């Protein structure tokens, strides 16, 4: 049990998850500071923080790492197919189950989760623990974040256009490019000069990342609570949503395991496929929500599934990665 707790802690679940829950509680008790009517523009501050996050992310991403990952195209294709095609298609199949205005909003938030890119840090951590293909994990997680800037708005445009008839796809991509692509590009260009600095202080940078995400979560839920948008939700709805999120994780995980064996992947590549292809990024979810649902009172509802998925995927993946590591040790000992 202690080993699992340590793994989960390394993945950033423990204190950060408690802080996320605290932000929701704070938004419920004291929403005014995070609302648009507040004299302190916390939402705008969070927007600038996002750009800084991705600048440091690019600073740690050397061109050599990107070039080294281009060769294993079958693995890359499977991971990105799962992240950006398989996930959304599964969400679309269950849409008829969500009838009524409130349930439609809940489905939209679930669909938003399924269109998001994969995580970076926790994917690499889990692949490392399970003795998978670490360079491929770094490459795919990195590329996934950049692809999401274009693919997530495209998917959301399909359903938001149908719902409202108004969706500025080019405007959304333009904003995300300024907030994400441009800072990442600047960081990559400055990698040779400042990459070592970013690696040295990556722990401090991670604290800044988490603080910014907490600020986004707080301001998003402030608007939702201020507009009484959660009044129709009960505890059983949250528990049902959580059960759905863990079911989604294992459905993708098992499908990726099946396809990896069909394609005769090495054990290392299969490990990388199942962990990188089954993850969703809370950071990207927070960033995308700032642009896609800017000023919307339902922003907090849109973040609820990704927050639940974030927590549950780390717990499940930690247990699975530890199990794979033990199996790998047994195989190595028997050889």
Domain 2-321 grouped into CATH 1.20.1530.20: yes
> What pLDDT shows up at residue 182?
85
For residues 299 and 289, the answer to whether their CB atoms sit within 8 Å is yes
> What pLDDT shows up at residue 164?
47
> What pLDDT shows up at residue 212?
81
295-335 pLDDT per residue, tens = 666 777 888 888 888 878 877 887 788 788 777 777 666 65
> What pLDDT shows up at residue 103?
79
215-237 pLDDT per residue, tens = 877 887 787 777 666 666 777 88
> What pLDDT shows up at residue 42?
83
Calculate the average pLDDT of the chain.
80
Which residues of the chain fall short of a pLDDT of 70? 1-14, 16-17, 62-70, 101-102, 120-121, 161-169, 227-232, 295-297, 331-335
Grouping H, G, I as helix, E, B as strand and the rest as coil, residue 8 is: helix
> What pLDDT shows up at residue 167?
58
> What pLDDT shows up at residue 88?
96
> What pLDDT shows up at residue 165?
46
DSSP 100-162: SHHHHHHHHHHHHHHHSPPPSHHHHHHHHHTT--HHHHHHHHHHHHHHHHHHHHHHHHHHHHH
For residues 293 and 302, the answer to whether their CB atoms sit within 8 Å is yes
Map out the domains of the chain as residue ranges: 2-321
Rounded Cα distance between 215 and 20, Å, is: 9
Structure tokens at 287: 């960033």
Other C-beta atoms closer than 10 Å to the C-beta of 68 total: 14
């Amino acid at each position: 049990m202690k080993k699992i707790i340590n793994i989960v802690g390394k993945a950033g679940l423990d204190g950060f998850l408690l802080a996320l829950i605290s932000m929701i509680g704070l938004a419920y008790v004291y929403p005014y500071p995070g609302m648009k009517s507040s004299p302190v523009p916390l939402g705008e501050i969070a927007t600038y923080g996002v750009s800084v996050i991705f600048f440091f992310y690019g600073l740690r991403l050397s061109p050599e790492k990107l070039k080294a990952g281009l060769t294993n195209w079958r693995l890359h294709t499977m991971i990105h197919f799962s992240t950006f095609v398989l996930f959304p298609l599964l969400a679309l199949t269950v849409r008829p189950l969500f009838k009524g205005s409130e349930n439609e909003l809940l489905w939209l938030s679930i669909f938003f989760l399924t269109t998001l890119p994969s995580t970076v840090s926790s994917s690499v951590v889990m692949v490392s623990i399970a003795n998978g293909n670490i360079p491929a994990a770094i490459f795919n997680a990195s590329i996934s974040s950049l692809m999401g800037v274009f693919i997530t708005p495209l998917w959301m445009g399909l359903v938001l256009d149908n719902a409202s008839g108004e969706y500025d796809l080019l405007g959304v991509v333009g904003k995300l490019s300024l907030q994400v692509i441009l800072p990442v590009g600047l960081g990559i260009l400055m990698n040779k000069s400042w990459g070592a600095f970013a690696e040295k202080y990556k722990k401090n940078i991670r604290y800044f990342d988490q603080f910014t995400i907490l600020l986004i979560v707080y301001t998003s839920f402030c608007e939702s609570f201020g507009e009484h948008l959660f009044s129709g939700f009960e505890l059983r709805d949250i528990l049902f949503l959580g059960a759905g999120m863990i079911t989604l994780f294992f459905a993708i995980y098992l499908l990726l395991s099946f396809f990896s064996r069909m394609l005769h992947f090495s054990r290392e590549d299969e490990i990388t496929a199942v962990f990188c292809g089954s993850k969703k990024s809370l950071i990207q979810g927070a960033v995308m929500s700032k642009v896609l649902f800017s000023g919307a009172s339902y922003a907090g509802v849109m973040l609820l599934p990704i927050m639940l998925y974030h927590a549950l995927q780390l717990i499940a993946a930690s247990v699975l990665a530890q199990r794979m590591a033990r199996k790998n040790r047994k195989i190595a000992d028997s050889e």
